[in-house]
Structure 1
Amino acid sequence: MATVAYTPDADAIVVGAGPAGSATAHYLASAGLEVLLLEKATFPRDKICGDGLTPRAVSELVRMGVPTPAQDGWMRNKGLRVHGGGHVVHLPWPEIQRYPNFGMAKARGSLDMTLAHHARATGAKLMEGMNVTGPVLHERTGRIIGVRVRQVDAKGKRLPEEAGAERVLHAPVVVAADGVSSRLATQMGLAKRDDRPMGVAVRTYFRTPRHDDEWMESHLELWEGEPNASPLLPGYGWVFPLGDGTANVGLGSVSSTGRATKLDYRSLMATWMKNAPAEWEFTKENQIGPVRGAALPMAFNRAPMYYRGMLIVGDAGGMVSPFNGEGIAYGLQAGRIAADVIAQAHVRTNDLARERTLASYASRMREDLGGYFTLGRAFVSLIERPEIMRICTKYGLPRPLLMQFVLKLLSDSYDTRGGDAMDRVITALTRIVRAA
């Protein structure tokens, strides 16, 4: 980390106050560092997501010390109810040492604000309405030493020049937590990889009597028309009860390459809702807000994860599971590891030692998730073929032992040390495969 002639505004700047960015800022502030957490929007703000939290994600919230009382909109669930192949199977979350035996759901507009305010309460300086327009680079080394920012209004629009003039914020380390497009990482020359899976998901909200269902629900078959009388399309659907009179309802699909599947998701969503049981009350009258979609970058689709003073966390680095499309748990984990690396680098006594410490971030992330994500890439190459997915659901769902194994694998809810035979098999597989 080269010594440069500027006065830092903080020890670190985090760009983006989603789960990954807020977790990074929280842990940095907890370690005693001065951190700026920059968010373009003004809270509360919406985010396209299924709103579901697996036990792995819940465990990260526990580490952060985030309170999760029901009265604040945290809806606990027992596990997953799976529909497919003419079967309905209830799969409770596994009882393992690593994670709690329950998942949760919370609307992302509320979740992200909660995490950002938690980071602020820990000591991070949260700056909302701050649009990062680009990196500031050291003219000799090319390292990032800050960002250019411009204040925007609550809708993200530029303020008059005198009120929203561009200014520079300096720090020796910058964290890119600015989402799937990651303008900051792109401007630093880090492009997305085309050899990683890419998912697409759409969702909306419905008022429904199912809002307090204690099970998250997954539908493994999506039909072009009438069930069992029309072509089966690649993808899956979900219903995540939120406990507040509403449920998050959505669907998604995944491609084994960086080119997202070209489906008419909104039309597919309308067909699914038309075929939904009447008692669900998923009708136009009960729909809250439009159907909105987002890309799901998977399996470390942007590299390197550390580059010239910048660390990449969350969706910006493709930290979404190819198995289930979850990104919150891995964003929180990345923030925790990134903050630890930055804090350790901060106390090193020379530039070379600081640089080596910062560079360890990528190897730590690959060690933790590389094998699992590699298995997920193989999984995607199979399930993106509807005929294979149909066989799996028809003959696999009725087998309880097999489905217990599948739930552990797909939800990343297995013990890496000890555990039962299933845990040991999954752990061995993640270690055997090449964590590319």
Structure 2
Amino acid sequence: MGGRLAGGRALHVDRQEPEPQRLRPVCAAPHGPAQHVRPQVPRVRRRHLRWHRLPGCLAGRPRPLSRLPQGPRRLARPPARERTGGRGRDRRRDFQPHRRLPGQRRSCGRQHGQGSHHQHGLGPRPGDQGGLACAEPPGRPARRGRRAAMTVHDVIVVGAGAGGSAAASLLARRGIDVLLLDKSAPPRDTVRSDGLMPQAIYWLDRLGCVREVLAEAKGCIKGCDLYLHGRHLLTGRFPDDTPYPDFALLVLRRRFNEIMQAHAVASGARFAGGTAVRGVARDGEVVRVFADTGRKAVEHRARIVIGADGASSVVSRSIGNNLKDGVLGLSVRTTYAGVKCDAGIRVYFNRDYFPSYGWMFIDEHQTACVGVGCAVDPKFPPTDNLGAALRQFIDSDLKVTLADARRIGPFSGGIAPHFRPEAMTADGVLLIGDAACQADPLNRGGIHTAIESAFYAADACRLALDAGDFSRAALARYEALWSAHSEPDWRTSEIFMSLAKNPGLKELVLFLLEQVGTLGEADPRFGGFASGVFSGVVSQSSWLSVRALSEAVPKDPAAWVALLRENSKSKTSITAGSVRLLAGAIASAARGGAGLARRPGASLDWALEVLTKAFTFADRRLSAPRAVASPEN
């Protein structure tokens, strides 16, 4: 049987029992007669030629150009009689085009006729029949030992979440060549609605995409309800005297991701989805990014790489960070539909699953995101898994609320590290968001902290690119900006979390929380201050400021009278309330001391940890350098 290749060269193939029109994969193994080879098809420009006839043995009816053979790497499936193994699975290594036999040389892609010998050492040897494919066009000299030219981007952003998309947008709008990589080809699909705190809305406004987010909002929340042991304790409002808006939004997470990615692309960034990054390495003046796209290994290069790939950051591990070196915030959540209650945010505390706490975000369509979260420390491992804690939370605190609702989403987990990594920058590398462990330790908020850090990182990258210096010293402005504007509140929240994570102090923490909630309900101004600190709208370091506390503490005696009456059994006697309040404080402190005494070794380590963090915070506040100017983006 014979055919004719492009250029007029004859193709001779000897086959037993030929099957017309059937293609066989090329096989270089010497275990049988040579097989039929897919002929080379001349490359044509689609806009000039929409139909093309196949040459030689494949001549027949015209086919659209999109149906032409796409080259030697798309090999036809071997015939059934040549497959071995159970259930039709091909177990012969020679029919796996992405693997080579021992001693077999790599294919270079070009068609070689009978008896030809390619100088690459990749074609058939003299005496062999058939031919191998070679990617080199005919007549081009061999390129041996020379690396092909590769595009070097200015910045590669790994991770297209809130922080990564924001960084790509800020850099691309200034004309910087940005490549945005994400392991998910489409945006992450989820049915849950996530809360965007006022800080996130503020940064989205500065980014320029707040209108799109507002259009997709499923609820506008003006406050948060606090429950303790199933009893409503406080309705906190977002204060209106801060730079942030006085409301939060509930947005479907999938739509939020789509908006952020679309804004990055509209700003000029190039998005490559379905790219799972495996590692980064510094190579001279560039950073090499190794990734997988499907089953294909790819490599990208850039002058600067921004790691925004979350808590399990590959970029963070590549620069030497240990991702399990401190406290981790874990969460498990699910979604319910048909919830019979008003839209809002609810937070639940209960001694049965403390130090875990529960939450429920209800949007205007009666869909609720329900979950529990806790801080996990190696010194105090959780006694039960969070899945069981979530079921207990639903069966106890939400039994009435979710009586007529139905669950429409699976249990899904999340993780957020709450410790300072060893390095936030390296030569040509920056970490932002959860990759840099920047989520708020007090309220677990990560969206607004990621977008804020993106502004600082974009400013540092812009200056480094202008100077042509991509060393760690040149990128130090990023850490300076974050330390000046965000670190004080982050370290204050870290101290609060360290106090609350010790299970021995459970009774004392819940007692103090009950008194603060009761006083905040009696005095709306103090309630707004407490709610603002917990949500991060008010600086968390205000709790450690005597001036801020003196301004926030209720001045009206009626608020204190209401607190004392609430602690009495009759809810009316001030004297009985005072006695019960004092007795409760003493009993809670005694139970806390007994809880610490049960584990003296772990408690001693915990006390040293808290003191160390307190001294570190005080030292940084006292030795803080002159304020660094905010980024211009």
Question: What TM-score do the two structures reach when normalised by structure 1?
Answer: 0.83
Question: For residues 26-175 of structure 1, what are the structure 2 equivalents within 5 Å?
Answer: 26-46=169-189, 51-66=194-209, 67-68=211-212, 71-84=215-228, 86-138=231-283, 145-152=287-294, 159=295, 165-175=296-306
Identity between Structure 1 and Structure 2 (%) = 25
1:174 counterpart SS class: strand
1:351 counterpart SS class: coil
2:152 counterpart SS class: coil
Question: For residues 172-183 of structure 1, what are the structure 2 equivalents within 5 Å?
Answer: 172-183=303-314
Question: For residues 347-358 of structure 1, what are the structure 2 equivalents within 5 Å?
Answer: 347-348=466-467, 350-351=468-469, 356-358=473-475
Q: Deviation of residue 9 (structure 1)?
A: 3.4
**Does residue 543 of structure 2 align to residue 422 of structure 1?**
no
Q: Deviation of residue 173 (structure 1)?
A: 0.2
Return the alpha-carbon distance in structure 2 between the equivalents of residues 55 and 423 of structure 1: 22
Question: For residues 182-193 of structure 1, what are the structure 2 equivalents within 5 Å?
Answer: 182-192=313-323
Return the alpha-carbon distance in structure 1 between the equivalents of residues 615 and 378 of structure 2: 21
Distance 1:277 1:134, change over 3 A: closer
Distance 1:307 1:257, change over 3 A: farther
1:100 counterpart SS class: coil
Q: Deviation of residue 356 (structure 1)?
A: 3.6
Return the alpha-carbon distance in structure 1 between the equivalents of residues 213 and 485 of structure 2: 30
Return the alpha-carbon distance in structure 2 between the equivalents of residues 207 and 377 of structure 1: 35
| Contact in 1 for aligned 2:162/2:257 (Cα 8 Å) | yes
Distance 1:388 1:381, change over 3 A: farther
| Contact in 2 for aligned 1:197/1:297 (Cα 8 Å) | yes
2:408 counterpart SS class: strand
Q: What one-letter code is carried by the residue in structure 2 that aligns with 1:18?
A: G
1:10 counterpart SS class: strand
Q: Deviation of residue 19 (structure 1)?
A: 0.8
**Does residue 381 of structure 2 align to residue 263 of structure 1?**
no
1:312 to 412, 424, 431: 431
Question: What TM-score do the two structures reach when normalised by structure 2?
Answer: 0.58
Query: Alpha-carbon deviations, 1:385-409, whole Å to 9, x = none?
Result: 3222221232221002544332222
Instruction: Specify which structure has the bigger relative contact order, considering alpha-carbon pairs within 8 angstroms and separated by 6 or more residues.
Output: 1
Q: Deviation of residue 6 (structure 1)?
A: 7.1
Q: Deviation of residue 253 (structure 1)?
A: 0.8
1:362 to 479, 491, 503: 479
Q: What's 1:376 paired with?
A: 493
Q: What's 2:448 paired with?
A: 329
1:252 to 370, 373, 381: 373
CA RMSD, Structure 1 to Structure 2 (Å): 3.2
Query: Alpha-carbon deviations, 1:260-295, whole Å to 9, x = none?
Result: 635321111112211245552256x71012111121
Query: Alpha-carbon deviations, 1:130-174, whole Å to 9, x = none?
Result: 111221421xx5x7612012212xxxxxx3xxxxx2122111000
Return the alpha-carbon distance in structure 2 between the equivalents of residues 282 and 9 of structure 1: 57
Q: What's 2:532 paired with?
A: 408
Runs of 5+ consecutive residues of structure 2 not aligned to the other structure: 1-147, 553-613, 622-633
1:189 counterpart SS class: coil
| Contact in 2 for aligned 1:200/1:261 (Cα 8 Å) | no
Q: Deviation of residue 70 (structure 1)?
A: 5.3
Return the alpha-carbon distance in structure 2 between the equivalents of residues 180 and 47 of structure 1: 18
Query: Alpha-carbon deviations, 1:26-62, whole Å to 9, x = none?
Result: 1111222110000101223147987111111111111
Return the alpha-carbon distance in structure 2 between the equivalents of residues 131 and 111 of structure 1: 21
Q: What's 2:463 paired with?
A: 344
Q: What one-letter code is carried by the residue in structure 2 that aligns with 1:433?
A: A
Return the alpha-carbon distance in structure 2 between the equivalents of residues 376 and 49 of structure 1: 27
Q: What one-letter code is carried by the residue in structure 2 that aligns with 1:9?
A: V
Return the alpha-carbon distance in structure 2 between the equivalents of residues 239 and 169 of structure 1: 42
Q: Deviation of residue 69 (structure 1)?
A: 5.6
Distance 1:131 1:270, change over 3 A: same
2:516 to 393, 396, 418: 396
Which structure has greater strand proportion?
Answer: 1
Q: What one-letter code is carried by the residue in structure 2 that aligns with 1:264?
A: N
Return the alpha-carbon distance in structure 1 between the equivalents of residues 425 and 155 of structure 2: 14
Q: Deviation of residue 243 (structure 1)?
A: 2.8
Return the alpha-carbon distance in structure 1 between the equivalents of residues 459 and 549 of structure 2: 28
Return the alpha-carbon distance in structure 2 between the equivalents of residues 431 and 68 of structure 1: 41
Q: Deviation of residue 95 (structure 1)?
A: 0.9
Query: Alpha-carbon deviations, 1:283-324, whole Å to 9, x = none?
Result: 6x7101211112121243x23111111000111111111111
Distance 1:388 1:112, change over 3 A: farther
| Contact in 1 for aligned 2:282/2:428 (Cα 8 Å) | no
Return the alpha-carbon distance in structure 1 between the equivalents of residues 243 and 488 of structure 2: 18
Q: What's 2:618 paired with?
A: 433
